[in-house]
Amino acid sequence: MKRSLYTTLALTVCICTFNYVTACTGPAPSEQTNNETTPAEQLREQIEDASSPKETAPQDSQPQDTITPEPTREITTEKTPEAIAEAPQETTPEVPQVCTLLPNKNIQDTWTWAQSATPPATGMMVYQNETKLFEDYNRKNAGILLPAGGAADKEFSMYSMTKSLSGLAALILVKQKKLTLDDKVSTYITAWKTDADKSKITIRELLSLSSGIKTEVKTTNKINLQDAIDTPFVKKQFQYGSEPFTLFSHIIKIITTKDAETFLKEELFDKLGMSLRIARIKDGTETANLANGGFVTLPEIKKLAEELLAASLGKGKIFDINDIKTLRTPGLNPTYGLSVWLNSAGIDTTGTSIKATYPDCGDDSVFHMLGAGGQVVTIVPPKRLLILKSSKVGSVEAQSRQEFWDKLFTQVQCTCVIP
């Protein structure tokens, strides 16, 4: 009886200990089967068996085998140095720094200056990555051509910005296989065939102002087609003036049987959904004045600038990257291409040396359409940047474009990344 009591007490301690452990750790998955007896129930049965009278087992009976539980192995999730070295390292992808190339204060300060310059600016736009950074109009300064001052719906005179349309017309004619830039001008201006020097001049040389003919900067009322045909050859040099563009306007009419304005309207302006008109010279020939006869609003010329920017990036509707490369190929002046101004140092319209217009950010693909009154269309392809400015024109006295760019690009952020 005494032994039976000791056995009962020992089993009671065991089952209490087991219940405590089970409560802390929870039953093992295999112990949750409904059809099996749990260890707790087994111990309870043993206690009940021990408290009931049983026959004493013989002394020589064999002892039951005891089961020694295996020691619990501690599971760790720590990696060895070798495993860490072999595992591929996770890297955080580098996010480009998207920023504006021009600080807003630069733009505002430049606009304030431009409105009081000579002649005053009538409007200015700055767009980057198709996002408007700035657009405003000078409504206080009334000009000869802008009696109500500047506004989005007010035309301004493009003046020599018009010249750049000649290069674009030439690219279109090349695409249409109606012209090559190495064609001789004398093929179309037959009076030149008998001149030993002028007979060798090509379309490319004519539009890069490297033909060597004598040229002058003339207003619409003084431009004359016959005078341009009769202009003498001087020497191979960069010479800025109206005659080359008057001659090319006539060549367009010879090739297409349409005046240059009609040709450009059908093949360029209408396709871009833009409006731009070109005046005629006053010599009775009704020749479109591609030297300085263009009129347009700032939002409309922006559509052309957007096409040239898109083409520079391989996304143009009409022009492609190769067209832009052709447009930007200089002649005898490293700062002048096929009727557009480039970013290289060179000489200006009077032969004076000038520095690059845009700061050296490694963006050598910058190019411009420029007018005598300070009109500007600047295209910066790597930064997806467009800068446009219109001006009041009462004379050919131009505000300093160099000063304009110097002010605008004072704190240009060259490290800006555009996705």
**What string of H, E and C letters represents the secondary structure of 16-83?**
HHHHHHHHHHCCCHHHHCCCCCCHHHHHHHHHHHHHCCCCCCCCCCCCCCCCCCCCCCCCCCCCCHHH
pLDDT computed for residue 32 by the predictor: 44
CA dihedral 26, 30, 36, 41 (to 10 degrees): -30
pLDDT computed for residue 392 by the predictor: 77
In this prediction the pTM is 0.74
d(CA 163, CA 337): 12
d(CA 406, CA 167): 27
pLDDT computed for residue 168 by the predictor: 98
Domain ranges of the chain: 1-52, 104-408
Tokens in use for 167? 């290069």
pLDDT computed for residue 21 by the predictor: 43
Whether residue 110 contacts residue 407, with contact meaning beta carbons closer than 8 Å, is answered with yes
Beta strands in 265-405 (DSSP E): 277-278, 294-296, 341-342, 346-347, 353-354, 367-370, 376-380, 385-391
pLDDT computed for residue 353 by the predictor: 65
pLDDT computed for residue 147 by the predictor: 44
pLDDT computed for residue 373 by the predictor: 80
pLDDT computed for residue 75 by the predictor: 47
pLDDT computed for residue 419 by the predictor: 54
Q: What is the pLDDT along the chain (419 residues), one digit of tens a residue?
A: 444 444 444 445 444 444 444 444 444 444 444 445 554 455 455 545 544 544 444 444 444 444 555 555 554 445 555 554 555 555 554 444 445 567 778 899 999 988 888 778 889 999 998 999 999 998 765 444 444 456 888 899 999 999 999 999 999 999 999 999 999 999 999 999 999 999 999 999 999 999 999 998 887 778 999 999 999 999 999 999 999 999 999 999 999 999 999 999 999 999 999 999 999 999 999 999 999 999 999 999 999 999 999 999 999 999 999 999 999 999 999 889 999 999 876 676 666 666 666 665 656 688 999 988 889 999 988 888 899 999 876 544 555 677 887 788 776 666 665 55
CATH architecture of 104-408: 3-Layer(aba) Sandwich (3.40)
pLDDT computed for residue 175 by the predictor: 97
Using only the alpha carbons of the chain, give its radius of gyration.
43
How is 212-253 classified by DSSP, letter by letter? Answer: -B------GGG--HHHHHHPPB--SS---SSHHHHHHHHHHH
pLDDT computed for residue 366 by the predictor: 87
**Per DSSP, what are the bridge partners of residue 136?**
124
For residue 148, give Cα distances in angstroms to 117, 156, 161, 372, 396: 18, 11, 22, 21, 21
d(CA 142, CA 150): 8
pLDDT computed for residue 228 by the predictor: 96
pLDDT computed for residue 386 by the predictor: 94
